[in-house]
């Protein structure tokens, strides 16, 4: 059972509060997070084209994962082929936590655009999955509903993919196995270090403005 002692209590002149009623606050401006995008693909040139397009939207990439073979499932084989690669990138500029829905729609739009250009069909030539990295967790966007996924808006769900505690990323019962590969965990750990430093600098700047 969680302890309510950790909840932030606001002070007010309301008589009800002064008599001992406690009210929790809502943080309307949580800290920004790091945009991570995962790719499944066959063609390196098509991947680079997608990356260039996304940099035009989100700014420069600050970290790239070394590609690995994706052979964890045959789910994409009929549509995209059997020799898929997986890689992830992180973007330098932090984003608001509410932006995951828009990022997923941009990804779907880019997938469709590249399908028309290279496959002349509705079959994807690249799979693009945006996610948000926070110091304590990694959340992916998805259009598919499952019991553990939380609906956000406009057809997009949030999937809590990994949690970070005891100085390492930990899986959950539903975590896809490709996110547990050593290169993937190493990439997310390195991206998290960058994020933690970025947030530290932002906090320091805010504190300096108060002086």
- For 11-33, write each residue's pLDDT tens digit: 333 444 445 556 788 999 999 99
Q: Whole-model pTM?
A: 0.87
69 pLDDT band, cuts 50/70/90, is very high
Dig out the tokens for 11 from the structure. 């002070």
Q: Which of 14-23, 45-54, 165-174 has the lowest mean pLDDT?
A: 14-23
206 lies in a domain? Answer: yes
Question: Tokens for 93?
Answer: 């500029």
Residue 50: per-residue pLDDT: 98
47 within a domain of the structure (yes/no): yes
Is residue 61 included in any domain, yes or no? yes
Beta strands in the chain (DSSP E): 34-41, 61-64, 68-69, 85-91, 126-134, 137-142, 150-153, 156-165, 168-171
Q: Residues 186, 162: contact at Cβ < 8 Å?
A: no
Distance, in Å, from the CA atom of 209 to the CA atom of 201, rounded to the nearest integer, reads: 13
Considering its fold, how many domains does the chain have in total? 1
- Beta-strand (E) ranges in 137-211? 137-142, 150-153, 156-165, 168-171
Instruction: Look up tokens 């992830």; give the residue.
Output: 88
Cβ contacts of 99 within 8 Å, gap of 6 or more: 35
Strand partners, 87: 39
Contact in structure between 118 and 126 (CB atoms under 8 Å): no
Identify which has the larger pLDDT, 12 or 185.
Answer: 185
Domain for residue 57, yes or no? yes
The whole-number average pLDDT for the span 109-115 is: 97
The mean per-residue pLDDT over the stretch 103-114 comes to 97
Q: Which of 52, 80, 66, 88 is nearest to 161 (CA)?
A: 88
92: domain range? 29-210
**Residue 183: pLDDT above 70?**
yes
Does residue 22 form part of some domain? no
Q: What is the pLDDT of residues 73-97, one digit of tens each?
A: 888 888 898 899 999 999 999 999 9
> CA-CA distance, 168 to 106, in Å (whole number)?
31
pLDDT average, residue stretch 48-53: 98
Q: Indicate the SS3 state at residue 52.
A: helix
- How does pLDDT run across 51-66, given as a tens digit for each residue? 999 999 999 999 999 9
User: What gap in Å lies between CA 145 and CA 152, rounded to an integer?
Assistant: 11
Q: What is the CATH number of the domain that holds 130?
A: 3.30.70
- Would 1 be classed as within a structural domain? no
Quick one: pLDDT at residue 118?
Answer: 92
59-63, 82-86, 108-112, 186-190: least confidently modelled range: 82-86
191 domain-assigned? yes
Please state, in angstroms and rounded to a whole number, the distance separating the CA atoms of residues 23 and 200. 29
| Average pLDDT score, the chain | 90
Within 8 A by CB and 6+ apart from 114, the residues are 46, 49, 50, 124, 125, 126
* 160 lies in some domain: yes
State in Å, rounded, how far the first CA of the chain is from the last one: 40
């Amino acid at each position: 059972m969680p302890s309510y002692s950790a909840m932030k209590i606001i002070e007010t002149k309301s008589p009800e509060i002064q008599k001992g009623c406690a009210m929790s606050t809502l943080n309307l401006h949580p800290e920004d997070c790091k945009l991570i995008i995962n790719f499944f693909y066959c063609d390196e040139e098509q991947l680079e084209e997608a990356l260039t397009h996304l940099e035009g939207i989100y700014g420069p990439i600050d970290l790239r994962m070394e590609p690995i073979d994706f052979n964890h499932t045959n789910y994409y084989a009929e549509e995209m082929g059997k020799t898929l690669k997986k890689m992830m990138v992180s973007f330098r500029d932090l984003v608001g936590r509410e932006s995951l829905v828009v990022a997923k729609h941009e990804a779907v739009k880019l997938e469709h655009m590249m399908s028309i250009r290279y496959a002349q069909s509705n079959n994807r030539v690249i799979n693009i999955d945006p996610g948000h990295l926070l110091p304590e967790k990694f959340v992916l966007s998805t259009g598919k509903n499952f019991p553990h996924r939380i609906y956000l808006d406009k057809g997009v769900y949030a999937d809590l993919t990994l949690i970070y505690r005891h100085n390492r990323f930990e899986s959950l019962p539903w975590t896809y196995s490709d996110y547990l590969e050593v290169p993937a965990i190493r990439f997310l750990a390195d991206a998290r270090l960058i994020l933690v430093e970025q947030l530290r600098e932002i906090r320091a700047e805010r504190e300096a403005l108060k002086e």
